[in-house]
Amino acid sequence: MLRLLLPAAMFLFSLAPGASFAIKAPTVNASGYLLVDVESGQTLSESNADARLEPASLTKIMTAHVVFSELKAGRISLQDMVLISEKAWKMQGSKMFIEVNKQVSVEELLKGLIIQSGNDAAVALAEHVAGSEEAFAELMNKHAAQLGMNGTNFVNASGMPDENHYTTPRDIALVTESTILEFPELYKWYAEKEYTFNKITQPNRNRLLWQDETVDGVKTGHTAAAGYCLVSSAKRDGNRLVAVVMGTKSDSSRVVESRKLINWGFRFFDTTTLFKRGDELKSVRIWKGEADNLSVGAGDDVVIRYPRDMKDKLSAKLSISSPLEAPVSKGQQIGSINIMLQDDKLKIVPLIALEEVKEAGIFGWLMDTVLLWFEE
């Protein structure tokens, strides 16, 4: 049974970093990496997750995210025909082989971007959405700020090297999670193993798609400076993990290190829903109100991923500002729930009022004021 504790201290809402458990994480040979459980938002393992690194074609995850957002907002459509500029046509590196002055649909360009990692597709989409790649980069940075990607700056849509073009493993995980959760119908293209355009068939560079049927994305990247990078995602038994591995030494090593992380995360952790949205966790004293007690609980389902066979070590600590005084509205945050695994913080989520308590009349207000004076 989950232990429920109620101290007086008040915690700020935040997501605790991945704690260290008795289960030893695998050694990952990379400049930086991160393994995240998508449903709970917990980091299971990390190293240099906030290091500023060159993203190479991992950039295209954000490029696609911006285009997906424009599609969702109705500002563009998959059927839009894009006139290919000379700049897009001339792009070096990986290409989908679009031709200058020809028209290509947004849908075809997105598939060329996601499946074939086309630098030419990235520029064509950027120009269609924002008029120029430079203006599109500003949109990318705006989206990054909204997602909390505080260690990121984009200057182009393709990931071509630039000293001012950088991100972190944690930031790449944020945009990847957002893509998966917000755009599931478009995210499915990341699972496609090949795409044919202009009579040229190219395979997806994410070789994990062939090695593990539970893997359905996401994106590779490589430049001489960035090394070999891979963002991968897999779903097993309803649970999804995202692994970000940046700066490995070869194509094969990025696959090996990513598979290592994903298998470890699924093998040694379980997921449980501790509390449902709206469940009463406690009835607490409230002062100067029409009622003496207030029901409190979680604003959303509280999902936790924890080391296997350690469920009995989980506890929840309710932290409420004291004294709690009316008026309080339904849904108002009045504290936090600190989820612990033994002495490690796993997660901190808002504690809310499950009902409204109006301010008492003058007599009740004066009575509680006097009682509070004695309480102090």
Residue positions counted in the chain = 376
**Is the separation of the CB atoms in 58 and 165 below 8 Å?**
no
Query: Torsions phi, psi of 174, nearest 5?
Result: -60, -50
Half-sphere exposure of 38 (CA within 13 A, CB side): 23
Give Cα 122 distance to the centre of its chain.
22
Task: Report the catalytic residues.
Answer: 57, 60, 117
Query: Torsions phi, psi of 97, nearest 5?
Result: 70, 50
CA 65 – CA 180 distance, rounded (Å): 10
Of 177, 141, 165, residue with least CA distance to 223: 165
Start-to-end CA span in the chain (Å): 34
Query: Torsions phi, psi of 230, nearest 5?
Result: -155, 130
3-state secondary structure at position 122: helix
Q: DSSP secondary-structure letter at 152?
A: -
List, in order, residues 6 or more apart from 11 with CB less than 8 Å away. Answer: 319, 335, 336, 338, 348
Q: Which helix (H) or strand (E) holds 143?
A: helix 133-146
Of 2, 127, 104, 118, residue with least CA distance to 60: 118
CA 308 – CA 137 distance, rounded (Å): 43
Please confirm whether the linkage preceding 55 is cis (ω < 30° from 0).
no
